[in-house]
Amino acid sequence: MSFKYLQHLVLTAIAWALSSIEDEILVGGQTVVEGVMMRSPKGYSVAVRRQDGTVRVMKDMVLALGQKWKIFKAPIARGVGVLGQALVLGIRALRFSTEEALAEESVKQDSKTDPAQVSSWMIGSSLVLALGVNILIFIALPLVITRLIQAEVGFQSSVI
């Protein structure tokens, strides 16, 4: 009895692996301020809840970088390009969501500067700061701790 169950399981797994994936839609996303961004291979959309309770949606098409430039069809360049494109789309979605979430507050405040407008300088500086903190936490700190352990133990080990 258990052999038939195992055989059924294996055949089901093989049938699933060999089935056509043409009708499969790949969708991913990320959270943004008061909303969500969802991306498919052909486009993306951002939905943001404003302070008055309404939902604002932005939709746009995405063209793969390999279709624009042939260099991004190479394996390593393709990964770098997809990562860069995801970063740009994420920043664009975060900027839109921040502006929409703060739009109601800027109407209430009568000032000459609009706080809902997020400057590119602010986004760039926060990315540089985040990159610096990540390098410190995930590269420099483990290296310093490893060197301290090596100095304390008194031997050079490839494991440490």
97-124 burial, b if ≥16 CB within 10 A, otherwise e?
bbbbbbbeeeeeeeeeeeebebeeeeee
pLDDT at 120: 74
Residue 79 inside a domain? The answer is yes
CA angle 60, 66, 70 (to 5 degrees): 140
H/E run at residue 48: strand 43-49
Judgement on whether residues 74 and 136 belong to the same structural domain of the protein: no
Residue 31 near residue 93 (C-beta atoms within 8 A): no
Residue 12 inside a domain? The answer is no
Residue 99 inside a domain? The answer is yes
User: What residues contact residue 93 under an 8 Å CB cut-off, 6+ apart?
Assistant: 30, 32, 37, 44, 46
Judgement on whether residues 135 and 60 belong to the same structural domain of the protein: no
Judgement on whether residues 124 and 49 belong to the same structural domain of the protein: no
Judgement on whether residues 84 and 30 belong to the same structural domain of the protein: yes
Judgement on whether residues 66 and 110 belong to the same structural domain of the protein: yes
Judgement on whether residues 123 and 99 belong to the same structural domain of the protein: no
- pTM, to two decimals: 0.60
Residue 41 belongs to domain spanning: 23-116
- Write the DSSP string, 80-118: HHHHHHHHHHHHHHHHHHHHHHHHHHHHHS--SS-TT--
Q: Give residue-wise pLDDT tens across range 18-43.
A: 565 566 778 888 888 888 999 988 88
Q: In the chain, what's the furthest Cα-to-Cα distance?
A: 78
Instruction: Show the tokens assigned to 102.
Output: 């703060």
Residue 37 near residue 90 (C-beta atoms within 8 A): yes
d(CA 156, CA 158): 7
Residue 64 inside a domain? The answer is yes
Judgement on whether residues 84 and 36 belong to the same structural domain of the protein: yes
Residue 8 inside a domain? The answer is no
d(CA 141, CA 120): 30
Residue 134 inside a domain? The answer is yes
Tell whether the model's pLDDT for residue 144 goes beyond 60. yes
Residue 15 inside a domain? The answer is no
Residue 18 inside a domain? The answer is no
Judgement on whether residues 124 and 104 belong to the same structural domain of the protein: no
Judgement on whether residues 38 and 66 belong to the same structural domain of the protein: yes
Judgement on whether residues 99 and 33 belong to the same structural domain of the protein: yes
| Residue that terminates a domain, selected from 100, 116, 132 | 116
pLDDT at 138: 94
Query: Which segment, 25-34, 99-108, 115-124, is predicted with the most confidence on average?
Result: 25-34
d(CA 50, CA 101): 5
159 torsion bin: left (phi>0), alpha (psi -120 to 50), beta (else)? alpha
Tally of structural domains, the chain: 2
Q: Minimum mean pLDDT among 26-30, 54-58, 84-88, 100-104: which range? A: 100-104
